[in-house]
Amino acid sequence: MYTRAVRIGFLTSTQFSTLYEDDRLAADELRRRGHTVEPIIWTEPNDLDAFDLVVMRTPWDWFHHRARFRAFLESLPSVRARVVNPPAQLLAFADKTYLPRLQAAGVAVVPTEQLASSELHRVPELLANHGWNRAVLKPAFTANAVGARLFEAADASRVVAELEKDAEPWLLQPFVPSIAQGELSFIFFGGVFSHAVRKRPRPDEWRVQHEYGGESAPHAPTARELDEAAVLLQRSAPGTVYGRVDAVEWQGRLHLMELEVVEPELFFRHAARSPALFADALGV
């Protein structure tokens, strides 16, 4: 797309003002190609029009500033620079309320019930209706499993009573036992598969994020896994420059846990060729 050196901004947060260590691998590849790469802290005043290309990377404090982040996303279509992923896509997947939307469209999503705070009293009834003996209840506006609760059906009323019931929607899902073997992440650039990672929780934990002791390692997907992951992406968000399909085995096939097309960790460190594939997808 570009036939000259371009100025690229990686949108990030104060915590990663010198870029997240994994993203530095992608930045190094872009610089090797003759481009400049600079961090842009999204919460600070910035002239995005001074860039040729703005890439959403690690604004990982966004869920502490939900309204501000949504307003920031809504401002991106007016930016002169090309924004990646496209602003409309960033807005559509900025919170986890996309999961019931995709489910309603027939995408294989881990079964999800969306509840307003005023509807949380229905949780015991819903668990009984679905036959879910263990479940996870989590805010729709969160990251890294912050605020998520795993509980037995018998404890549902107590858990609901303990929640801080603010105005945000909640998502109720069955606990998927295969998470003990790990959640699979499939990374695609320009809709083309790049690499996969298995994220395993520590033995006494169900959350796979490294903040809870989880570990990630390269994963060689089977042909079935790769086909199913590609279908999940294509049916959910065609036209991505980068996308990460987080999936688990459920009832004999992969089901979507999350579709990360806003600010995913892309695990460049687990695939040596991935920074070059990322740069190719950016068109630089």
Tens digits of per-residue pLDDT, 33-83? Answer: 999 999 999 999 999 999 999 999 999 999 889 899 999 999 999 999 999
To the nearest 10 degrees (0 to 180), the angle between helices 274-282 and 21-32 is 60
User: CB-based contacts of 146: which residues, under 8 Å, 6+ apart?
Assistant: 63, 139
- pLDDT of 182 reads 86
One domain, residues 190 and 244: yes
Do 19 and 146 lie in one domain? The reply is: no
Place 139 in a pLDDT band, splitting at 50, 70 and 90. confident
Same domain, 194 and 152: no
- pLDDT of 167 higher than 70: no
Residues 201, 223, single domain; the answer is: yes
Distance, in Å, from the CA atom of 257 to the CA atom of 125, rounded to the nearest integer, reads 23
> What average pLDDT is seen over the chain?
92
User: In 3D, which of 129, 228, 144, 145 has the Cα closest to residue 186?
Assistant: 228
> Which residue is associated with the tokens 């919170």?
95
- Give the pLDDT mean for 243-268: 96
Domain count, the chain: 3
Is 128 in the same domain as 221? no
Residues 6+ apart with CB under 8 A from 129: none
- Residue 21 within a domain: yes
Name which residue leads in pLDDT, 42 or 211. 42
Where does the pLDDT of residue 140 fall: very low under 50, low under 70, confident under 90, or very high at 90 and above?
confident
| 274 is a domain residue | no
Confidence of residue 142 (pLDDT cuts 50, 70, 90): confident
Please provide residue 121's backbone torsions phi and psi, each rounded to the nearest 5 degrees. -65, -15
118 and 82 within one domain:
no
Average pLDDT of 165-176? 84
Instruction: Give the model's pLDDT for residue 168.
Output: 73
Do 45 and 160 share a domain, yes or no? no
Q: Give the residue numbers spanning the domain of 34.
A: 7-92
Nearest to 257 by CA among 178, 147, 160, 166: 178
When mean pLDDT is compared across 24-33, 80-89, 211-220, 261-270, the lowest value belongs to 211-220
Instruction: Indicate whether 167 belongs to any domain.
Output: yes
How high is the pLDDT of residue 6?
A: 96
Is residue 48 domain-shared with residue 135, that is, in the same domain? Answer: no
Asked whether residue 102 falls in the same domain as residue 234, the answer is yes
How far apart, in whole angstroms, are the C-alpha atoms of residue 257 and residue 239?
20
Specify whether 156 is located in the same domain as 214. Answer: no
Residue of higher predicted confidence among 208 and 249: 249
Q: pTM for this one?
A: 0.93
Residues 85 and 34 in one domain: yes
